Amino acid sequence: MINIENYFASMHKAIEKVDFSEIEKAINIIVEKIENNKNIFVCGNGGSALTASHYVTDWNKSYYLKTGKQLKGISLNDNIGLVTSIGNDLSYDDAFSFQLESLAQKDDILIAISGSGNSKNIIKAINSAKKIGCLSLAVLGHDGGEAIKISDFSIHFPSWDMQICEDFHLSFGHLVMKSICSESIKPLYE
């Protein structure tokens, strides 16, 4: 059985290593893209694919309900027919870059979520974003991998525990949602 106390202790240790100014900078970039009516593309593999969908679900719905304005968030994971046809007919490595090259425009943003930062389809998507003139923001774990070196901006949650990385990645999405909806983050316990 897992030692629950150790899990949260590991999470706390990782939080102490997080650069909160990176998070604030990333949120400001996303807010700027929303205010300028740019597309926000998000992608990831495995649990990160679901986090990408979660971001877009929270951001699109909450922002519209709060402001009555559009937020153009698109998860590149959510069209399973397109993802699987690209994987079958081309390569799974092209699953996100192919979509990005057909949908994205200059000054849009790609948010690539990856625990390792080394997934080939994530690296290709970031490189495609550069080619198009999109900003790339990588939300990463582990040591950041290749993605931390090639993305325009990154948020790095330095943990080798994938579940803790995924916890942080999801928390980042919630911080963005609260920021774009002008919700303060109130302490539960004082």
Q: Which residue ranges of the chain lie beneath pLDDT 70?
A: 183-190
Looking at residue 188, its pLDDT comes to: 47
CA 61, CA 21: separation in Å to the nearest integer? 27
Looking at residue 112, its pLDDT comes to: 98
Looking at residue 1, its pLDDT comes to: 76
- Residues 29-34: contacts with CB under 8 Å, at least 24 apart: 29/109, 29/135, 29/137, 29/153, 30/109, 30/111, 30/137, 30/176, 30/179, 30/180, 31/179, 31/180, 33/107, 33/108, 33/109, 33/135, 34/63, 34/71, 34/180
Q: Which CATH class is domain 19-180?
A: alpha beta
- The model's pTM is 0.94
Residue range 138-168, pLDDT digits in tens: 999 999 999 999 999 999 999 999 999 999 9
Looking at residue 184, its pLDDT comes to: 56
**Do the Cβ atoms of 37 and 67 come closer than 8 Å?**
no
Question: Would you list the domain boundaries of the chain?
Answer: 19-180
Residue reference for tokens 């090259």: 101
- Amino acid identity for residue 16 in this structure: E
DSSP codes of every residue in 49-89: HHHHHHHHHHHHHHHHHHHS---EEEETTS-HHHHHHHHHH
Looking at residue 2, its pLDDT comes to: 79
Looking at residue 190, its pLDDT comes to: 52
Looking at residue 186, its pLDDT comes to: 55
